[in-house]
Amino acid sequence: MNSSKSSKHNVQNTTYEAASSKLSAVKLGYYDDPFLKHFVKRIETRSPLINRGYYARVAALRLYIELFFKSIDNKQSIQIVNIGSGLDTTFFWINQKYQDVKYYEIDFYDLLKEKTDIIKKYTEMKNFLKYEKDNEEKDEDLINCLNYKMVPLDLNDSSSFEKILLSYNFDFNKPTIFICECVLIYLETESSDNLIKKLSELMKNTSCIIVYEQLSSIIYIQNKKKKIITH
């Protein structure tokens, strides 16, 4: 296995670890997610610290999504782009609460294919997918319906980001939430900088980016002193 394949494999493994840790918190009643169990092959109980950490992670993400929806006129449809989505189940939580939302997930093809196959096995998840025709889903390799679109993309190459999103009917004029949950840290610094810059340049309407990333205490203190971090 060459270094690029090894790096890709290591990054993908983190999504299984995250899903397992989230399910541990769900099983102990920290928060509700009836769909996550389908994506975890082996249930493991994590330590109290990890359970609380993942609860805080999910609660913070959901809070900021709700705040964004409250800030937007009800007549406007909203887009959500989950960058490096992995096995995350936010799409289903969103569709239990809100209408007229178009949800995009960006990740490696093989991980999205695995996720597609799992979703299509369970009626309670398939029922959230909206198609123009009843039989349209049979011909798709990855989920690509009206309200849920899986986009295979290597995030280290942001030059094709605009073109690829447009091919999936993304509208840069609509209010949009971008989610980066433990993904930027796995990109080259230049790649992550270019990605965020590209997003800010492309969006023509109200948008926000919700970022949850690992941060060492040393970097946190340095940024706090520079007033880069205010809260």
Mean pLDDT on 137-153: 90
pLDDT for residue 6: 43
Asked if pLDDT for residue 3 goes beyond 50, the answer is no
Tell me if 139 is assigned to a ligand binding site. no
Percent of the chain at pLDDT > 70 equals 85
Indicate the domain borders of the chain: 3-225
Average pLDDT, the chain: 88
Tell me if 84 is assigned to a ligand binding site. yes
Q: Which secondary-structure segment (H or E) carries 80? A: strand 78-83
pLDDT for residue 225: 57
Residue 107: band (very low, low, confident or very high) from pLDDT cuts 50, 70, 90: very high
Tell me if 154 is assigned to a ligand binding site. yes
Take residue 105 and report the two structure tokens written for it.
């997930």
pLDDT for residue 137: 62
Q: Does domain 3-225 have CATH number 3.40.50.150?
A: yes
Mean pLDDT on 81-88: 96
Mean pLDDT on 107-129: 96
Tell me if 57 is assigned to a ligand binding site. yes
**Strand ranges of the sheet holding 101-107, from the earlier edge strand across to the other edge:** 148-152, 101-107, 78-83, 176-181, 207-212
Between 231 and 201, the more confident residue is 201
List own/partner pairs for 90-93 with CB under 8 A and 24 or more apart.
90/61, 90/62, 90/65, 90/179, 91/128, 91/148, 92/35, 92/125, 92/128, 93/33, 93/62
Asked if pLDDT for residue 53 goes beyond 60, the answer is yes
Asked if pLDDT for residue 177 goes beyond 80, the answer is yes
